[in-house]
Amino acid sequence: MSAEHALAHHQPLPTPEKSHEAPVTQVGGLPVSTLSLDALIDKMLVEAPLRRGLNHPPQLIFDANGQGLSMNASDPDFRANLAHADLIHADGQIIVMASRWFGGPHIANRSSTTDMFTDSLKRAADAGVSYYLLGAEEKVNSACATEILRIAPGLQLAGRRNGFWKPEEEDAVIDAINAAAPDVLWVGTGKPREQAFCVRNRHRIKAGWIVTCGGLFNYITGDYPRAPMWMQKSGFEWLHRMATRPKELAWRYITTNPHALWLIWKHRHG
């Protein structure tokens, strides 16, 4: 069924393929989708424009990594916001590995937010799916927009805005997003602010999917270097991040990684 047919006849939203009905698995106290990275992207590129076109409330797509596990267990407000997610994907390799340690459904592979974004760009351009970038400093946000249009000529960039605004400016931020009406809104303002923003404004935002993405825009511009592939696949990307940005990340990883491992063990039986 085509998107146009579904929009015209208000039929139920389809999934691209049967594999997209994959179940969730419990990791460290969170229900994490078992979808592969490619299946997640396919799901987004079909569902997001359909939901927006039908004026359905946007789906909230949050991520799971070691920091997220720790914050979910220790921060009641973050936990309450995370509970509103329609889908939580495995941003951290430790989440994928943990799904295979104690039985139960396995997560197909890691779906880091950066890979989800970059791998989707050309496919989104081909499908006519529009993106909106919300977050980071102005110069980073602007440079990211320029870079993704270079990577994927023809990509529909509905709009963009930096991630710095005062509480009294939030209505204007929402108005700008709604004027652009993107299929996918990428929100990169960091945990827990981005989750709180998404939950608080979900029913005011005109978009198909809202995806939280942390420091994504900085990775696209190269301000934050990515780890070598072997570190990404072995679960040691956090070590590379800590080494390259010690002042910002050392304390975070020192405190949240051991806590996350303990939570994985604590919830090993679901």
On the question of pLDDT at 14 being above 80, the answer is no
**Residue 147 — very low, low, confident or very high, per pLDDT cuts 50/70/90?**
very high
Given the DSSP bridges, would you call strands 30-33 and 87-90 parallel, antiparallel or unpaired?
unpaired
**Residue 67 — very low, low, confident or very high, per pLDDT cuts 50/70/90?**
very high
**Residue 104 — very low, low, confident or very high, per pLDDT cuts 50/70/90?**
confident
> What does the chain look like in DSSP terms, one character per residue?
--HHHHHHHTPPPP-SSGGGG--EEEETTEEEE---HHHHHHHHHHHHHHHHHTTPPPEEEEEE-HHHHHHHHH-HHHHHHHTT-SEEEE-SHHHHHHTTTSSSPPP-S---HHHHHHHHHHHHHHHT-EEEEEES-HHHHHHHHHHHHHHSTT-EEEEEE-S---GGGHHHHHHHHHHH--SEEEEES-TTHHHHHHHHHGGG---SEEEE-TTHHHHHHTSSPPPPHHHHHHT-HHHHHHHHSHHHHHHHHHHHHHHHHHHHHHTTT-
Given the DSSP bridges, would you call strands 156-161 and 130-135 parallel, antiparallel or unpaired?
parallel
Q: Do residues 190 and 36 touch, judged by C-beta distance below 8 A?
A: no
The pLDDT > 90 percentage for the chain reads 80
pLDDT score at 236: 86
On the question of pLDDT at 12 being above 60, the answer is no
pLDDT score at 6: 44
Q: How much is the average pLDDT of 41-66?
A: 97
pLDDT in tens, 178-218: 999 999 999 999 999 999 999 999 999 999 999 999 999 99
Which has the higher per-residue pLDDT, 17 or 119?
119
On the question of pLDDT at 5 being above 90, the answer is no
Tally of CA atoms within 13 A in the half-sphere of 105 that contains its CB: 16
Q: Give the chain's mean pLDDT.
A: 92
> What does 172-219 look like in DSSP terms, one character per residue?
HHHHHHHHH--SEEEEES-TTHHHHHHHHHGGG---SEEEE-TTHHHH
Q: How much is the average pLDDT of 8-18?
A: 42
On the question of pLDDT at 7 being above 70, the answer is no
Lowest mean pLDDT among 102-106, 218-222, 261-265: 102-106
Alpha-carbon span 239 to 242, nearest angstrom: 5
**Residue 238 — very low, low, confident or very high, per pLDDT cuts 50/70/90?**
confident
pLDDT score at 175: 98
On the question of pLDDT at 54 being above 50, the answer is yes
On the question of pLDDT at 259 being above 70, the answer is yes
On the question of pLDDT at 126 being above 60, the answer is yes
Alpha-carbon torsion 76, 113, 155, 47, what sign? negative
pTM exceeding 0.85: yes
